[in-house]
Structure 1
Amino acid sequence: MGVCGYFVVSWKCLVVLSFRLLFLVPPGLPVHSQGDSQTDNKVMDNITVRQGETVFLRCPQGDIVTHTAWLNRSSILYAGEDKWSVDPRVSLVTLNQEEFTIKIEDVDMTDEGPYICAVQTSRRPRTTSVHILIQGDLASEDEYLDIPSISRQRAGTYECTAVNDIATDVQTVEITVNYAPSVSEGRDVGVTLGQRGLLECEADAVPEADFEWYRDDRRIFNGFDGMEIEDAGQLSKLTFFNVSEADYGNYTCIAINKLGSSNTSFVLYEVIEPTSSTLLQEPGAVQDGNSGSMGTHVHTYTCLLLAILQFLLRF
């Protein structure tokens, strides 16, 4: 069956999903499998290039094409004229009725593998498959690191070292995992009337999230009612420079990127400062209406003791 035949079969689910995602197939219209006569599948010869060269992937169009896309092992590179890949080495060369061609510059070992061109014509969906083989500078077997079901914790820099009697070659690959925002739980804040208040919203997201602040269901903009919004990376701050009675209440922070959103809520509540009379008051002191009469009794008792003491001192 060969390499190309194998990856076409194993890619069946990915191609079907891509057709759905790109709206190549209208809702309700079934996508047929490889063996179905309603779908044209073509396997091209392998393309072999040396590491560092440029490879062109050409997809013949024909008929009246409504949608078209190039895919690699795990993602969409181009959907029509829209670039989905974040790799700057990938670019669109030609897109017309005759062909759909993209190029990958400065190829390396990570570019090796299967690629598929998915096309929706006026009659039926069609796929064209090709396998890219990369020739490295070292005469050694290729090594692959397979990361199934990749998570955000697997993002980072990976390094592969190849060594033989002639030379040592080191290749590094930076893996970026995109994911929807995750917002830290909001902390309620107490502020004294007339003082400065601060609410902080932190979100973990790739790409970085945009922030929106709301008071109940009303959005807050920078400078609104004396409030300031400051966004810096993963953190957004809502500052109150002179808290008023109207500022106390419920607030919501929403973090958004192209993959989703997340939110958390805060309560800004009033803190009452103790008065000077409260601070001077002794613990356990009586605060009812009898406190004045009790003080009078103590004063009278003290005067009586002094009179008795003076009387005894005469003898």
Structure 2
Amino acid sequence: MRCAQGDVVTHTAWLNRSSILYAGEDKWSVDPRVSLVTLNQEEFTIKIENVDMTDEVPPKIINLSRDIVVNEGSNVTLMCQASGKPEPSISWKLISSSGKRWPHDLRLVLNTGDLASDDEYLEIPSISRQRAGTYECTAVNDIDTDVQTVDITVNYAPTVSEGRDVGVTLGQRGVLECEADAVPEADFEWYKDDRRIFNGFDGMEIVNTGSLSKLTFFNVSDGDYGNYTCVAINKLGSSDTSFLLYGEYRNLLHL
């Protein structure tokens, strides 16, 4: 074990918790396995031979679940095993979900349904999209702490925001916007009545950016007015919403 030193250091010692092993060149420990290797202005290094399970060892996480992708509603089990002397305790925390910090720790849930704070398994029954995120496993003993993380991605079918009707004057530009919440991200399809619209069709443009799809009319004509449907699709399902593109004269009919 090496301890770096500087010119300003005047006294150095190695301790095992409250027991002094070496104070400078003086050996205080009666353990024959402990010996001085180097003592100068740059470093103070000792060696401990034949380390065994009776020696104190900082915790080290040796077996951790890999990052996983699951469908919403699945049962998830995370495992975190650690070595160390004294035996480390294990705790779990959800440290981020959809970019938001979670202030509370998640207690460990055993298969019996009892709560515990010293078990290596974290059970998440019927996982929801709100519990997707980064989970942190912490192993602690009297010597030190080890921390590692696991990412859980939760897939779910799209849900689309309610369509908003848009009024546009003849010859003007109009835009219909369709937003979908989905993992993985949704693909979009647009329809007028029962006829699918493709990009460039009749002067229309479809632009998809992440969770948002825009249908743009650059020069609205009488034939453009009517009912439109946006469908968001991923491998888990689909969802749709409807829009009405109308001329501004429509408002006059209600006066």
What range is the shorter-chain TM-score in? 0.5 to 0.7
Question: Does the 8 A contact of 2:226 with 2:244 survive in 1?
Answer: yes
The question of 1:241 aligning with 2:196 is answered no
Q: Is 1:109 aligned to 2:57, yes or no?
A: no
Give the aligned residue type for 1:110.
S
- Residue of structure 1 equivalent to 2:180: 203
SS in 1 for 2:223: helix
Q: Distance in 1 between matches of 2:229 and 2:126?
A: 33
The answer on 1:184 being equivalent to 2:161 is: yes
Scaled by the length of structure 2, what TM-score is found?
0.54
Q: TM-score, normalised by structure 1?
A: 0.44
Say if 1:178 and 1:205, in contact at 8 Å, map to a contact too. yes
Displacement of 1:170: 0.8
Deviations 1:261-297 (A, max 9, x none): 00000000001499xxxxxxxxxxxxxxxxxxxxxxx
Alignment of 1:68-217 (within 5 A): 108-110=63-65, 136-138=82-84, 139-140=87-88, 142-217=119-194
User: CA contact under 8 A between 1:191 and 1:270: conserved in structure 2?
Assistant: yes
Determine if contact 1:192/1:273 at 8 Å carries over to the other structure: no
Could you tell me which of 202, 207, 212 is aligned with 1:230?
207
Q: 1:273 to 1:264 in 2, by over 3 A?
A: closer
Judged with a 3 Å threshold, the aligned counterparts in structure 2 of structure 1 residues 177 and 252 are, in CA distance, closer, same or farther, namely same
Over the residues paired in the alignment, what is the CA RMSD in angstroms? 2.3
The answer on whether the counterparts of 1:196 and 1:239 sit within 8 Å (CA) in structure 2 is yes
Give me the whole-angstrom Cα distance separating, in 2, the residues matched to 1:273 and 1:213. Answer: 23
| Displacement after TM superposition at 1:166 (Å) | 2.4
Cα distance in 1, alignment partners of residues 205 and 146 from structure 2: 52
Question: For structure 1, which segment, 137-146 or 228-237, has the greater mean C-alpha deviation from structure 2 after superposition?
Answer: 137-146
CA distance in 2, matches of 1:223, 1:262: 24
Q: What 5-or-longer segments of structure 2 have no aligned partner?
A: 1-59, 67-78, 90-118
Q: CA separation in 2, counterparts of 1:251 and 1:187?
A: 11
Amino acid of the residue matched to residue 262 of structure 1?
S
Does the 8 A contact of 2:80 with 2:137 survive in 1? Answer: no
More strand by share: 2
Aligned twin of 2:36: none
Going from structure 1 to structure 2, the CA distance change for 1:260 and 1:249 (only over 3 Å counts) comes to same
Q: 1:135 deviation in Å?
A: 5.3
The residue that corresponds to 1:14 in the other structure is none
Q: Which amino acid aligns with 2:229?
A: T
Query: SS of the counterpart of 1:255?
Result: strand
For 2:172 and 2:183, how far apart are their aligned partners in 1? Answer: 36
- Displacement after TM superposition at 1:136 (Å): 2.8
**C-alpha separation between the residues in 1 aligned to 2:83 and 2:230?**
52
Q: Is residue 61–residue 139 contact of structure 2 (8 Å, CA) maintained in 1?
A: no
With over 3 angstroms needed to count, the CA separation of the structure-2 counterparts of 1:145 and 1:265, relative to structure 1, is same
